[in-house]
A and B are shown apart, each in its own frame.
Chain A
Amino acid sequence: MAHSATEHAHDHDHDHHEHHDTFLTKYVFSQDHKMIAKQFLITGIVMAIVGMLLSLVFRIQLAYPDEIFPWMETVLGKWGKGGKLDPNFYLGLVTIHGTIMVFFVLTAALSGTFSNLLIPLQLGARDMASPFINMLSYWFFFSSSVVMLISLFVETGPASGGWTVYPPLSALPKAMPGSGLGMTLWLVSMTLFIASSLMGALNYIATILNLRTTGMKMTRMPLTIWAFFCTAILGVLSFPVLFAAAILLIFDRSFGTAFYLSEIFIGNEALSQTGGSPILFQHLFWFLGHPEVYIILMPALGLTSEIIATNSRKPIFGYRAMIGSLLGIAVLSFVVWGHHMFITGMNPFLGNVFMILTLVIAVPSAVKTFNYLATLWRGNIQFTPGMMFAIGLVSLFISGGLTGIYLGNAALDINLHDTYFVVAHFHLVMGSAAMFGMFAGIYHWYPRMFGRMMNEKLGYLHFWLTFAGVYCVFFPMHFMGLDGVPRRYYSFTGFEYMTEWVNMNKFITLAAILSSFAQLIFLYNFFGNIFKGKRAPQNPWNSTTLEWTAPVEHLHGNWPGEIPHVHRWPYDYSLPEATEDFIPQNIPNEGLEEHHGGGAPIETPNRQELPSEKNRADSMLFSRLLAFLSLRRS
């Protein structure tokens, strides 16, 4: 049994070492990071399906604004009365689609799955620093998902003020039906979500700082871990601000305070609140909201770095520059939130400041892109589905990132703000790119998660349909934005200058439906192979990182014997002097010719020089960071 081996190898207190796992402790209230990763992933997939279906309903409304669809009444009840989608519910769909995709899929499922799976495995740890809090993190996320889904079924409809829930619209039930019980549930759900996210992030940080195996210096961590590390720090620093914003909103909604409300006349009465500012909410929201974009994107970029290096059979180009750009993005992401607010009535002078900071953040993003290209150059590229999604991510990251240069420019933003140009921009750079990162990660680490292989050819098909579909859906939206077509419009029949886009909307909707069908291939491939797939070899992609040295079967504590020690950085692919095209991190220089031994523990000459595992990390962190910042190669 795994735990017996663990105990003598390891003197940590593992409070989850029961001798007999019941169904409940193994699959439901599991404290094992690998099981929690799978729980996050599957919950996330369910939420993604819901989010996608919601988007299809409103896409159909946009494409066929004047048609009657009797099935809408069947499916949506009073919200589809007479076969027409209700404008209130349209806004509800848009809101919940955004909330689910941004928070539940791309924040929780992406980070939750891969941080949980990879942090202990790639660092050489038995589990997370606190497996119990890790379990709580999942169950808070689960409850939050349930509450969010329930809000779709309340009588007054779900929250409908857009995923940004700006008050006063979201604060006043008289302003729209969705701001009643639906909005209350939204706030409850998000509060649970933030708790989940914080517990997860604190755990990731603690694990990364304290539980690295012998030899795993900060500068030897795979870029995935660096990305998760930066993401977790962003989450810990920014989610509490959203929490504060939500609490104040609850006060305004229920207890008559005036944090966000001032001089409002609604429903035939003048409200007594004065002195509040709706702009305050926007500042608080975007103080989370902008780092949130990177919370979504950075794990995807981390996964991609790893996958591109492995499948190009080349070291990632400019490892240190990649870490530097991650840190640069992380720091800068806290000082650019104002670019969402250029024309909200914020002091225009602040617009200048935020514009400068925003365009600075494009520099590290450019560095990342060019480094990916340089990694592909003269590689020996293996086309695994994971690799293809990673290449797709880079393409979407470029296409969506470039339009950020327009939107970050306050003078251009005047005309582009809240138009379809913005919709195109963030769906490409944040939505689709992060989604592609997630797909890449799933295809790449599926063997690690389930011990089985996914079908490659179905993966190719899934990739090509999705890739083409995403561009067909989102690229034309740029032109709609340039015609001044606003987002969150129920139909484009009211304004003469917008009517010409209805045909385009038909095209976009068909493309969206088609790419949704492509996701069925993925679902079949994913769920079908959990039990029936080809058994996975231990290291299917000939990768160098530690997770592939652990046995295919999942064990408590991950490695049956001693945890492998690390002797090199994670990207020794195609070293000219080596015979094999990869050297795993646990192979010492002296043992190169026999590295097929996999996870066999090999004593290293420099092991004694390192401080003991327990108190090493914290004391070393700052000196390592300083050494790193001096940008000298070790």
Chain B
Amino acid sequence: MPKNLLSALRALVLTMLLSLPVLWNSAQAQPDGAAIYSANCVACHKIDADLVGPALKGISERRDEAWLIKWIKNSQSVINSGDAYAKDLYAKWNNVQMPAFDLSDEEVKAVLAYVKAEEGKLAAAAPAQTAGGAAAAADPDALSSTQKFFMVLLMFVLLFAAFLYAIKSISTFFKTKGIRILDWAAINGILFFVFLVVGMYFVYYQFAVYGKYTLPESASEHGVITDQMFMITLVITMIVFVATHILLFTFPYIYRTREGHKAYYYPDNHSLERLWTIVPAIVLTALVLYGTKVWRDITQLHPTENVNTIELFAYQFGWKARYTGADKALGRHDYRLISQDNNLGIDKKDPKAQDDLYPMEVVLPVNKGVLFRLRARDVIHSAYMPHFRAQMNVVPGMPTQFYMVPTITTEQMRKKLNNMDFNYELACNKICGAAHFNMRMKIRVVEEAEYQQWLKEQRTYFKPAENLTAQLNVNN
């Protein structure tokens, strides 16, 4: 223990003395442009189309590399420096600020190279498309989607008008003849019954077809229990849904008004009312008791020993993850320390922070508890992991957490779903701004051995320290 502390202290001193980029650059593997791009850029940018920010196609021609590096690392400082191009860009995109990214020059260059490569791929694919497009334009029968849309609209309007006209002319025709063939009470009564039958089929159809589209089996321990509870609730509510609707839609049919008929005066029946107060009350009590137990188990009774702690950090518009190092503890953080080089605001002076890992994806070992500590930089986000039935809001100024045990590895799930592209996702589920809908991170669940291997490949949060500690360890 004292030895660890000592080495940490030495690392700390050295860190402060030598924050020389040269040291870690030489040891760093070639940065992976694609991975950095998908972790940081895709929320707001596309290569070939505008999204929240401009299309990245041709960006290297638009601005030189030095400018781009400056801009990506800290767009606000470029704007504040009075750069006219930057100012125009900012205004043009509704003053939505591009966040500062703690990427190195090499990493930015890798991203630019990746964008260029993708651009090339698109350009190669484009001739075929333009050829197709030209053919389509030449074809007088082909319509743009807008035209199609308006055609469909127009069709609806015309059909509707025709329908109204038909009804009107039929009714006037019979009115002139003095015949009343349309008994509207009967028609509406029957329509309610038809609506019941068609509606129930619609519900059945949806369950049969779209039921399959819903989330696959839960990949977490607690999710299995909540899914079970969901099914119990579903059975109970479906019974009530079907029964009440059968009554609601057949009564209008059976008891529709008829000549000389008088309704049955029946203002009250205490035993009946008692029955339908007490039965729902009992059913709901059972559901509540079950629900409170499960909720308590999930949120309040999780183990604290032998648990992986992972910090998820949410910002507009992305996620960052921070793993504990060998000391099994996360370093202290303070939002005032957030800067271009320290995106998460971690305290460099905290020995516990020195070995914290900073991976670009979330990887979890299967069947081992993980405690997500959630932190937000700017506004409220929500860490939503639907495949694990896990969700908790991420609130600035108020740390939150969620505990779960993943039970199915990504590989296993891919086999189960017969979909080799399947990935667990972390999505933002609390409205947080323009690119809310794209704020995501990939989650991978792997076997323990693979996890340990992966951990070794991850860089530490403070880049120079990584090498220094390694060197110190070797020296020791």
A and B bound? yes
Whether A352 contacts B263 by the Cβ 8 Å rule is: no
Known contacts A168-B379, A394-B248, A411-B226; is-contact A352 B257 (Cβ 8 Å): no
A138 interfacial contact with B, CB 8 Å: no
Which of B96, B264, B292, B437 gathers the greatest number of chain A CB atoms within 10 Å? B437
> Given A82, A268, A383, A476, which contacts B185 in the complex, CB threshold below 8 Å?
A383
Pick the residue among A169, A266, A399, A461 that contacts B377 (CB under 8 A): A266
Residue B201, interface by CB 8 Å: no
A157 interface hit (Cβ, 8 Å): yes
* Least CB distance, B378 to chain A, in whole angstroms: 4
A241 within 8 A of B: no
Contacts of B429 in A (CB 8 A): 417-419, 486
Q: How far is the CA of A382 from the CA of B188 in the complex (A)?
A: 10
Q: Bound state CA distance, A560 and B74, in angstroms?
A: 76
User: Which of A265, A320, A372 is most buried by chain B, counting CB atoms within 10 A of its CB?
Assistant: A265
- On whether the beta carbons of B189 and A383 are closer than 8 Å, the reply is yes
Residues of chain B from 150 to 176 with CB closer than 8 A to chain A in the complex = 152-153, 156-157, 160, 164, 167, 171
- Contact with B262, one of A402, A468, A574 (Cβ below 8 angstroms): A574
B203 touches A475 (CB 8 A): yes
With contacts A264-B377, A377-B251, A388-B188 taken as known, whether A174 is within 8 angstroms of B393 at the C-beta atoms is no
Chain B CB count within 10 A is highest, among A312, A345, A483, for A345
- Asked whether B156 lies within 8 Å of A513 as measured between CB atoms, the reply is yes
Given contacts A315-B265, A348-B295, A383-B256, contact A172 B378 (CB under 8 A): yes
Q: Assess whether B264 is in contact with A314, with CB atoms less than 8 Å apart.
A: yes
Of A64, A345, A366, the residue contacting B400 (CB under 8 A) is A345
Given contacts A486-B427, A571-B267, contact A277 B230 (CB under 8 A): no
Instruction: Select which of B206, B215, B299, B396 is within 8 A of A351 by beta carbon.
Output: B299
The 8 Å CB contact of A405, one of B233, B245, B379, B427, is B233
B202 touches A383 (CB 8 A): no
B240 touching A402, Cβ below 8 Å: yes
Bound complex: CA A345 to CA B391 (Å):
10
- Of the stretches B62-70, B271-279, B352-360, B454-462, the one at the interface is B271-279
Interface size in chain A (residues, C-beta < 8 A): 139
Mark the stretch among A194-202, A489-497, A622-630 that contacts chain B: A489-497
A377 touches B338 (CB 8 A): no
Q: Which of A10-18, A65-73, A284-292 contacts B (4 or more CB under 8 A)?
A: A65-73
A370 touches B241 (CB 8 A): no
Distance to closest chain A CB from B168 (angstroms): 8
* A317: interface (CB < 8 Å): yes
* Chain A residue, CB-CB nearest to B52: A87
Given contacts A162-B431, A383-B188, contact A267 B97 (CB under 8 A): yes
Whether the pair B389, A318 counts as a contact (CB closer than 8 A) is no
Residues of A within 8 A of B223 (CB): 415
Q: A617 in the interface, Cβ–Cβ < 8 Å?
A: no
- Residues in B whose Cβ lies below 8 Å from that of A102: none
A67 in contact with B145 (CB, 8 Å): yes
- A275→B295 CA distance, assembly (Å): 29
CB closest residue in chain A, given B160: A517
**Residue A265 contacts which of B94, B269, B335, B380 (CB distance < 8 angstroms)?**
B335
A64-B149, A377-B251 provided; 19 other pairs, C-beta below 8 A? A87-B51, A91-B433, A162-B431, A265-B345, A317-B267, A343-B393, A374-B269, A376-B248, A383-B188, A402-B240, A406-B230, A411-B226, A415-B390, A464-B191, A479-B213, A484-B386, A486-B437, A514-B156, A521-B164
Residues of A within 8 A of B (CB): 60, 64, 67-71, 81-84, 86-88, 91, 156-157, 161-162, 166, 168-169, 172, 174-177, 261-268, 270, 274-279, 312-321, 343-345, 348-349, 351-352, 355-356, 359-360, 362-363, 366-367, 369-374, 376-383, 388, 391, 394-395, 398-399, 402-403, 405-406, 409-412, 414-415, 417-419, 456-457, 460-461, 464, 467-468, 471, 475-476, 479, 482-484, 486, 488-492, 494-497, 500-501, 504, 510, 513-514, 517, 521, 571, 573-576, 581, 633
30 A-B pairs in the complex with CB atoms less than 8 angstroms apart: A68-B144, A69-B145, A87-B437, A88-B94, A161-B431, A168-B380, A169-B431, A175-B378, A176-B433, A177-B96, A262-B397, A264-B396, A278-B398, A312-B255, A313-B262, A317-B268, A343-B393, A348-B299, A359-B287, A379-B263, A381-B189, A398-B245, A402-B237, A402-B241, A417-B429, A456-B184, A471-B199, A483-B213, A496-B425, A581-B262
